[in-house]
Structure 1
């Protein structure tokens, strides 16, 4: 058992500590990482739509997709901009011209589960006519409710 007693040479002074304690920095970074991981999925939904349930696995995303949302009352949105049924083909043609590495953008189609199937298929037909064939139908997983 030894006791650290101040030496007579230093007269009670301690040598300056040459180390930086990084533990608080790591703790703060981990908390920020968790906050961003929790809030990032909430930022993707622009228009609230009552989506149907599915057990399908989520898709891998290589670029930011374009979201087309159809509400129960028939209003359509491309990302967060409202689009009428008459202007939808023109908007989709503009989207088709924006290619990334020779591929058209990924489209996420979010349709309310109370919509008529024909309404969703007419939008998908317009997407196909514009050359946008990378379409994913967005659903809510059973666990996410």
Structure 2
């Protein structure tokens, strides 16, 4: 007389061992699809004013806080962080920014000007920055290939 001493002698467990592995293939497939989606959409998320910057061999600056972006496009339109404004409105906003900065941590200003612009227009914006008391101004360029 033979006895089956395996646990769970009922009808439901007959012929099947409990599964102790996790199939990670579907998880990897989903992660690869998400990676491809993010790789395609990330370059499209960059917004800003289209400016053809001049080239320079200068090194990039280290920054602690988000700088204020001032851009001047090819037609001479002035943008403060993607918002187009007149020169008078720019002077008002720069005074507000200067009033909100601290002595220990002055705001960094990034000035982006199209390389085909008149030098006087860029110097006029720099004069407004100086008049407002914002003296940490960086001129943004593209990196040189040399």
Q: TM-score, normalised by structure 1?
A: 0.71
Q: Which runs of 5+ in 1 are unaligned?
A: 1-7
1:127: Cα distance to partner?
Answer: 0.8
Distance 1:84 1:121 in 2: 15
Distance 2:98 2:35 in 1: 40
Q: Which runs of 5+ in 2 are unaligned?
A: 7-12
Match of 1:15 among 7, 18, 22: 18
CA deviation vs aligned residue, 1:13-72 (integer Å, no higher than 9, x gap): 2233266849946x828937x739x539x62x5111111111222223322211101122
Cα RMSD of the aligned pairs, angstroms, is: 3.5
Match of 2:35 among 20, 27, 31: 31
Larger radius of gyration: 2
Q: 1:13 to 1:101 in 2, by over 3 A?
A: farther
Distance 2:144 2:23 in 1: 47
Equivalent in the alignment of 1:77: 79
Distance 1:56 1:120 in 2: 19
Distance 2:17 2:102 in 1: 62
Note if 1:137 corresponds to 2:144: no
Distance 1:20 1:134 in 2: 56
Equivalent in the alignment of 2:62: 60
Q: TM-score, normalised by structure 2?
A: 0.70
Q: 1:18 to 1:99 in 2, by over 3 A?
A: farther
Note if 1:123 corresponds to 2:125: yes
